[in-house]
């Protein structure tokens, strides 16, 4: 499958871990449809690890745990599809999954056929318990080839955590998205750590194979499988803005059955999603700025039609002032141009004067600006 914009959806792991079952998935599908998440772009509902029995059947096929999924995975897929969503599942390139269930190593074509028969639309493919003597690029090519020959259009989500220099070979596998990081946790420190890893990877993100910075923690508030300290709504807003700005797939990780209005407002901000889903999918450019420290991140991104997105992210617990010379985005005085701006989260509009943009940021806050090039 070739994806033209970053995939969007929901995944069970961050909140539920192994505590998944048919009823949870049905209720999640109901709420996603009821709240209009597919219309916002969140089209995939993905079951992560721990869905199967601990052993394959006599025909070497994977078997859904009958206690968790008494009607089988085909029935689950059919229900998810009935809600206008696409259905995703999980496997692993090793003998076992990360939680110790059967992986797909040397069962790639059989498993791809099984997933196709069940009506799967998305496969997250992890990297635990893999062969130490076979390079990852071969393991992911195997499953990519199996999926492309299974008779169904299944999005291949490669989850090798950036190991083995994933960025150098992942496009050869048929993957539509690839994990560049280890697992996210519901803490600000985890967000900062994952963001720091991205700078060298910007050139490896784009149409057809998107750099996945891991699932969103927006709205978790310290609850669930990866819920540790939790974050504030301001931190969640900045986290979501960075993921969207950098072109990462946007996979919701909270319990959508229990979202408050602040969480909905963050996840469903149409203008932020528009930047993430911009059709040309150009890479962001890290800007130098003026007097910007390591905890003040400045980025620009040229959008389809000539607009410019500018992201200012204060990663620290202190107030900060972001200062940007427009020469960095290609608009020195000599062009006779400036920017007419709208800050998306606040709705503020302004025009840049003296070729310098200055914005004050509260602790952990951000400014995401969509700007048009205009005459001075």
Known catalytic residue at 233: no
Q: At 333, phi and psi to the nearest 5?
A: -50, -35
> If we measure between CA atoms, which residue out of 50, 34, 51 comes closest to residue 42?
34
Alpha carbons 179 and 193: distance in angstroms, whole number: 14
- Catalytic pick among 164, 183, 295, 307: 183
The residues with which 63 forms a beta bridge, in sequence order, are none
Q: How far apart are the first and last CA of the chain?
A: 45
Q: What is the DSSP string of 149-163?
A: TSSS--EEEE--TTG
Alpha carbons 255 and 345: distance in angstroms, whole number: 24
Helices (H), the chain: 13-16, 22-34, 37-40, 72-82, 108-118, 136-148, 166-169, 188-196, 233-245, 261-267, 270-276
Return the SS3 of 102. Answer: strand
Alpha carbons 32 and 45: distance in angstroms, whole number: 9
Alpha carbons 321 and 308: distance in angstroms, whole number: 20
242: tokens are 């960075």
- Catalytic pick among 111, 126, 186, 278: 126
Known catalytic residue at 126: yes
174: tokens are 């048929």
Q: What is the DSSP string of 19-76?
A: ---HHHHHHHHHHHHHTTHHHHT--EEE--SS-B-SS--TTS---B-TTT-TTHHHHH
The residues with which 285 forms a beta bridge, in sequence order, are 300
Angle at Cα 214 formed by Cα 213 and Cα 216, nearest 5°? 110
CA distance to 4, 47, 78, 298, per residue, from 123 (Å) = 17, 9, 16, 34
Catalytic positions, please? Answer: 126, 183
């Amino acid at each position: 499958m070739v994806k033209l914009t970053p995939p969007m959806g929901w995944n069970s792991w961050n909140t539920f871990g192994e505590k998944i079952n048919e009823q949870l998935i049905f209720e999640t599908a109901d709420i996603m449809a009821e709240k209009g998440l597919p219309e916002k772009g969140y089209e995939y509902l993905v079951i992560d690890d721990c869905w199967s029995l601990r052993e394959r059947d006599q025909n070497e096929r994977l078997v859904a745990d009958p206690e968790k999924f008494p009607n089988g995975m085909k029935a689950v897929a059919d229900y998810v599809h009935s809600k206008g969503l696409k259905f995703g599942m999980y496997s692993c390139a090793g003998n076992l999954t990360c939680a110790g269930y059967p992986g797909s190593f040397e069962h790639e074509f059989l498993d791809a056929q099984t997933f196709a028969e069940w009506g799967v639309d998305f496969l997250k493919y992890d990297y635990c318990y893999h062969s130490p003597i076979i390079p990852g690029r071969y393991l992911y090519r195997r499953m990519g080839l199996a999926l492309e020959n299974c008779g169904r259009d299944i999005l291949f989500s490669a989850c090798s955590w950036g190991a083995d220099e994933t960025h150098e070979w992942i496009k050869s596998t048929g993957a539509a998205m690839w994990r560049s990081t280890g697992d996210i946790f519901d803490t600000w420190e985890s967000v900062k750590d994952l963001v720091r890893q991205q700078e060298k990877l910007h050139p490896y993100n784009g149409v057809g194979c998107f750099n996945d910075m891991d699932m969103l923690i927006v709205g978790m508030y310290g609850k669930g499988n990866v819920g540790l300290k939790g974050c504030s709504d301001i931190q969640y807003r900045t986290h979501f803005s960075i993921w969207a700005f950098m072109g990462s797939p946007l996979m919701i990780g909270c319990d959508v059955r229990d979202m408050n209005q602040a969480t909905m407002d963050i996840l469903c901000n149409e203008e932020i999603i528009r930047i993430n889903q911009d059709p040309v999918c150009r890479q962001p450019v890290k800007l130098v700025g003026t007097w910007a420290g390591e905890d003040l991140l400045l980025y620009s991104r040229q959008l389809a039609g000539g607009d410019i997105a500018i992201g200012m992210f204060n990663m620290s617990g202190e107030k900060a002032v972001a200062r940007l010379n427009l020469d960095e985005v290609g608009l020195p005085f000599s062009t006779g141009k400036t920017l007419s701006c709208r800050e998306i989260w606040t709705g503020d509009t302004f025009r840049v004067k003296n070729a310098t943009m200055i914005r004050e940021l509260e602790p952990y806050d951000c400014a995401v600006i969509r700007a048009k090039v205009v005459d001075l």
